Amino acid sequence: MRILRLAGGPGVGKSTVAWEVARRLGDEGTPTGYVDIDQLGMCYPAPGGDPDRWHLKERVLQHIARAHEAVGVDLLVVSGVAETRTPPPSHGYPATSIWLDAEESVRRARLAARGWDDGQVGRALQAGTTESTHAHTDWIRLATDRLAAGAVADAVIDRVGSQPGSAAGAATRALRPVSTAAGRVVWLTGPRLAGASTVGWRLVSERWSAGLVTGFADAAQLAFTANVDDHDHDHGLALAGVAALHEAFAEVQAHEFVVVAPQVITPDAVRLTFPHAEVVIVRLGADEPTRRTRAGERRAARGPRLAGDDVAEATDAEIAALIVDGAVEPREDPGVVVVETSGLELRAAVDTVRRALGGDMSSVGDPAP
């Protein structure tokens, strides 16, 4: 397997370009995986000695890479921030590491389009300039100023090559992810657009604001692949990813781990993944009008989009199809806490889930991790 790393300061387009490269190479037949390394370090407050969580993210990435190799991925595309003063880690794989650059005016316009205020933009610009100035010479520099994302993707593909490597065509093997860590796992799920991601994010943000060391993961963000011959690989990769995160977060004293995940991952699979933890599975219920309203809120939201977001630019017809296709009929399980949120605004839905979990953190302010 090979690794392609795309890094750079805020606003250079690293996530957009990385997703375009992964999508295009997948369309061309390369067994491809994608992960945003920023998704691998969502544990706050940060551990002592690792304030930017570089070591934490790289430790998890090593496990994520092995899981992708196990299911037959040839090229793993990794985007996100990186430690600039040291050579980019390869974790034992042939790696191409590209640092994307852009002039300050370009980065400023891109960040402002996310709805950031002047203070946020200024701090991000300063940090990005510092990172770029000190980027290790092992990074291949590529300017994105006057290029559309597609043209930058062309340049990246020219450097990494689109031909399969030695791992292409390798037989896949089933993943049996198991975390050896203890603590509490809160697993939030439900039909598409029921609001599990937003509810989970707000709940974990409350814990961060209260200074409680807590981890967070979006399971779907750990399982993006193309041309991998394993019909169940998405579930295996997602569970392997959250198991690795659970162990890594436990090592830095996180006693709670909040996961948002697709409903197709069964409660039995979740419990088998965390045999030593207290697992609380919460399934949000939401009728079609409520999910349609939440889809509208997603489309109207400003800010950076998560990879694979099929809602942000969707038409009304596409939203209707997502609601129908995403309404998986869950298997009855008496151990699952079902929370009905139909007709509730998301803030009220968060309050309802919080009460179901037995904790009242309504007095906690907004997070600033």
Q: Which tens digits make up the pLDDT trace of 154-195? A: 999 999 876 555 444 454 556 778 999 999 999 999 998 899
Give the pLDDT band of residue 321 (cuts 50, 70, 90). confident
- pLDDT digit string (tens) for 246-303? 999 999 999 999 999 988 899 999 999 999 999 999 999 999 999 988 888 888 876 6
**Res. 362: pLDDT tops 60:** no
pTM of the full structure = 0.89
pLDDT at 304: 65
Give percent above pLDDT 90 in the chain: 57
Query: Which of 11, 91, 49, 45 is CA-nearest to residue 216?
Result: 45
CB contact at 8 A, 6 and 14: yes
* Confidence class for position 364, pLDDT limits 50, 70, 90: very low
Q: Which of 9-13, 82-86, 159-163, 309-313 shows the lowest per-residue confidence on average (mean pLDDT)?
A: 159-163
Find the mean pLDDT for residues 52-65: 94
pLDDT at 337: 94
367 against 224, higher pLDDT: 224
Is 233 a residue whose pLDDT tops 80? no
**Which CATH fold would you assign to the domain 2-160?**
Rossmann fold (3.40.50)
Structural contact between residues 181 and 250, judged by C-beta atoms closer than 8 angstroms: yes
Greater confidence (56 vs 303) lies with: 56
φ, ψ of residue 44 in degrees (nearest 5): -135, 155
Kindly state which CATH superfamily the domain 184-356 is placed in: P-loop containing nucleotide triphosphate hydrolases (3.40.50.300)
Domain map (residue ranges) of the chain: 2-160, 184-356
Segment 129-137 long-range contacts (CB within 8 Å, at least 24 positions apart): 129/9, 129/104, 131/8, 131/9, 131/81, 131/84, 132/8, 132/9, 132/84, 132/99, 132/101, 134/84, 134/85, 135/84, 135/99, 136/84, 136/85, 136/86, 136/87, 136/88
Same fold? 2-160, 184-356: yes
The answer to whether residue 44 scores a pLDDT higher than 70 is yes
What's the pLDDT at 323? 83
Give the bridge partners for 282, in sequence order. 188, 337
